[in-house]
């Protein structure tokens, strides 16, 4: 217990050594009640100090099941005048079954639905939600549609995720005139001026230099500053990057763009069959098309297949290549049903022939067997 000097910090007046009073009848002195007041003061201070300790993470870890092993359940069995001293923001730790891990622990029920979720499960859930960039975190109980309040989230959130949560929370509260720096996340408010800018300064008005890290970025598209390129062209891709990727060096392109996620990939060695490390898409490095294949119609390495690479067959004459491959595909589409019909017809004929031939074959086989044994019919 802290020394009595700390009582004033808790809002308690200093104790008196004694108190006395004079009775109405005679000069008899009333017995001093200082010992009773002192016991009342000590009990009141214990309740307040215990409430203050449990509201800190260190004090909570010292609760039942923690490292300190302090038994706290008796405090909640205080008489009614002292039971309200703990405040309404800290509910008692009860032995409940967690709705997530199903283990019985000392749990403080959630303030929204009063369901039991242990501290470890709640911390993992909150940390996962913050990693996803969520500011309004819903209750982990599926039956509850409420959102957890900021105090509950900050109290149970791990220390490493508190800064991220405050950033996402601030980001959800700002309007469109305030954006964070792409590098240091410092918030900057864009103030529009009353005059009409000239066409030369129309794009430069969105040029922002962060006062915190001196990073230059575009407020309109929230990207690094792109000198001489508007936001629409920058979103589609940097002109210099696209020009460099399309250049042919040593008989191949400098880089090829993935047909699915659109990132540029440079081949250093190996064949034309590439696998994107971002989305695991298989594509051809020469033409940039996906690898497709279909039985009886070929794949990307077939010259006459409609899925074939354009550089494998007549690369200089694209119209003739499409005509030839289209004709082959149409012929296969027409021949395939004929082959199926012919196969079915041959199968039917074989079945009919079998129905007549099989009994004759069995009869001849039986007769030959009888003739060998010399048995009459």
Q: Distance between CA atoms of 216 and 251, rounded to whole angstroms?
A: 38
pLDDT at 88 over 80: no
pLDDT at 245: 66
Looking at residues 68-74, what average pLDDT do you find?
A: 37
User: Residues 83, 130: one domain?
Assistant: no
Which region among 71-75, 107-111, 201-205 has the lowest average model confidence (pLDDT)?
71-75
Angle at 75 between CA 124 and CA 2, to 5 degrees: 90
Domain span holding position 252: 237-284
**Residue 309 Ramachandran class (φ > 0 left, ψ -120 to 50 alpha, else beta):** beta
> Is 80 exceeded by the pLDDT of residue 5?
no
| Nearest one of 246, 131, 225, 140 to 183, comparing CA atoms | 225
Q: For residues 1 and 30, state if they share a domain.
A: yes
Question: Does 217 fall in a domain?
Answer: no
pLDDT of residue 28: 42
Q: Nearest-CA neighbor of 139 among 108, 164, 114, 161?
A: 114
> Are both 132 and 49 inside the same structural domain?
no
Q: Which of 74, 90, 106 is the last residue of a domain?
A: 90
- Write out the two tokens for 51: 């409430």
One domain, residues 52 and 96: no
Higher pLDDT, 211 or 49: 211
Same domain? 32 vs 51:
yes
Domain with residue 161: its CATH number is 3.30.40.10
Give the pLDDT band of residue 316 (cuts 50, 70, 90).
confident
By the 8 A CB rule, do 210 and 219 touch? no
Same domain, 100 and 160: yes
In a domain, 79, yes or no: yes
Report how many domains make up the chain. 3
Same domain flag for 5 and 46: yes
Average pLDDT over residues 263-287: 78
User: Which residues are known to be catalytic?
Assistant: 271
Among the listed ranges 29-33, 165-169, 177-181, 215-219, which one has the minimum average pLDDT value? 29-33
Same domain, 49 and 18: yes
Q: Taking residues 283-301, what's their average pLDDT? A: 81
Residue at which a domain ends, from 267, 284, 301:
284
Last residue of some domain: 40, 61, 90?
90
In a domain, 371, yes or no: no
Q: Is residue 40 one of the residues assigned to a domain?
A: yes
Examine the pLDDT at 24 and tell me if it is beyond 60: no
- The confidence band for 202, taking pLDDT boundaries of 50, 70 and 90, is low
Q: Are residues 83 and 100 in the same domain?
A: no
How far apart are alpha carbons 263 and 284 in whole angstroms? Answer: 14
Same domain, 7 and 55: yes
Residue 353 counted as domain residue:
no
Q: Which pLDDT band holds residue 34 (cuts at 50, 70, 90)?
A: low
Q: Are residues 41 and 84 in the same domain?
A: yes
pLDDT in tens, 169-201: 877 776 667 778 877 777 777 765 544 444 555
């Amino acid at each position: 217990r802290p020394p009595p000097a700390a009582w004033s910090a808790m809002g308690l007046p200093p104790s008196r050594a004694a108190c006395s009073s004079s009775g109405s009848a005679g000069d008899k002195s009333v017995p001093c009640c200082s010992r009773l007041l002192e016991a009342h003061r000590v009990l009141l201070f214990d309740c307040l100090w215990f409430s203050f300790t449990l509201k800190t993470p260190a004090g909570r870890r010292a609760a039942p099941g923690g490292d300190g092993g302090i038994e706290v359940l008796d405090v909640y069995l205080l008489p009614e005048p002292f039971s309200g001293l703990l405040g309404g923001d800290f509910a008692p730790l009860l032995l409940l079954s967690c709705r997530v891990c199903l283990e019985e622990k000392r749990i403080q029920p959630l303030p929204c639905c009063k369901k039991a979720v242990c501290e470890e499960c709640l911390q993992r859930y909150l940390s996962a939600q913050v990693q996803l960039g969520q500011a309004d975190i819903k209750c982990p109980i599926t039956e509850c549609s409420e959102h957890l309040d900021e105090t509950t989230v900050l109290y149970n959130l791990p220390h490493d995720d508190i800064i991220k949560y405050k950033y996402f929370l601030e980001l959800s509260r700002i309007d469109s005139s305030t954006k964070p720096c792409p590098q240091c996340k410092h918030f900057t408010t864009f103030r529009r001026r009353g005059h009409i800018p000239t066409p030369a300064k129309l794009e430069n008005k969105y040029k922002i230099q962060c006062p915190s890290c001196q990073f230059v970025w575009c407020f309109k598209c929230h990207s690094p500053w792109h000198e001489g390129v508007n936001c629409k062209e920058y979103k589609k891709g940097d002109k210099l990057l696209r020009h460099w990727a399309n250049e042919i060096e040593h008989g191949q392109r400098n880089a090829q763009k993935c047909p699915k996620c659109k990132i540029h990939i440079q081949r250093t060695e190996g064949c034309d069959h590439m696998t994107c490390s971002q989305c695991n898409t298989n594509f051809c490095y020469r033409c940039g098309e996906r690898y497709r294949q279909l039985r009886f119609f070929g794949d990307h390495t077939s010259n006459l297949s409609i899925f074939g690479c354009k550089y494998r067959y007549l690369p200089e004459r694209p119209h003739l290549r499409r005509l030839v491959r289209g004709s082959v595909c149409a012929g296969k589409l027409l021949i395939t049903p004929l082959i199926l019909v012919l196969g079915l017809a041959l199968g039917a004929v074989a079945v009919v022939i079998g129905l007549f031939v099989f009994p004759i074959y069995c009869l001849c086989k039986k007769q030959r067997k009888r003739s060998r044994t010399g048995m009459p019919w």
